[in-house]
């Protein structure tokens, strides 16, 4: 089984692990890290889409502290698999998802569309802290390891 961590959950983890965070936020982030390790120990893959890595790169560049932020991002990414956005398998999922959501008038962000399409192409469960958007995508398995849902 593949578990694909989205951008929101990675930012939650990165911010929560900072020393300056409140104990409750830090504890929730550490719980997320523990869940990732437990899942990997069970033989499952925990990874990120190249789309998520791209968003993290943008966030680091926008921070004003690029070198420091990228060092933190690289450290955060170390234990995870990185999946390339595959040019044959992903686009049909993207096209279907976007079309369905636009017809319903229930669109989600463009990067979330790409991440959802990637998760479907990988037959992965998408781990997010933003299930409101992703629950709109037909056939997408989702989980929130912060809340346990």
Q: What is the mean pLDDT of residues 75-102?
A: 95
Separation between Cα atoms, residue 99 and residue 85, nearest integer Å: 19
* Domain 2-143: which CATH number of 3.10.180.10, 3.30.465.10, 3.40.50.1010, 1.10.1740.10: 3.40.50.1010
Other Cβ atoms less than 10 A from the Cβ of 6: the count is 28
Q: How far apart are the first and last CA of the chain?
A: 17
Q: What residues pair up with 48 in beta bridges, in sequence order? A: 5, 82
Separation between Cα atoms, residue 68 and residue 108, nearest integer Å: 31
Domain boundaries, the chain: 2-143
Task: Give the torsion sign (CA, 45, 10, 88, 124).
Answer: positive
pTM for the whole thing?
Answer: 0.92
User: Each residue of 126-143: pLDDT tens digit?
Assistant: 999 989 889 999 999 999
**Arithmetic mean of pLDDT over the chain:** 92
Q: Is the pLDDT of residue 146 over 70?
A: yes
């Amino acid at each position: 089984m593949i578990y694909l961590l989205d951008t929101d959950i990675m930012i939650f983890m990165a911010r929560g692990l900072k020393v300056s965070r409140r104990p409750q936020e830090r504890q929730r982030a550490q719980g997320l890290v523990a869940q990732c390790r437990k899942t990997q120990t069970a033989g499952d893959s925990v990874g990120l889409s190249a789309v998520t890595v791209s968003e993290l790169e943008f966030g680091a560049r926008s921070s004003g502290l690029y070198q420091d932020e990228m060092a933190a991002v690289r450290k955060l990414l170390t234990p995870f698999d990185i999946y390339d956005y595959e040019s044959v398998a992903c686009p049909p999922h993207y096209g279907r998802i976007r079309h369905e959501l636009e017809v319903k008038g229930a669109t989600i962000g463009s990067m979330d569309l790409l991440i959802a399409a990637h998760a479907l192409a990988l037959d992965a469960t998408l781990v997010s802290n933003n299930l409101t958007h992703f629950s709109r995508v037909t056939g997408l398995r989702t989980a929130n390891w912060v809340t346990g849902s």
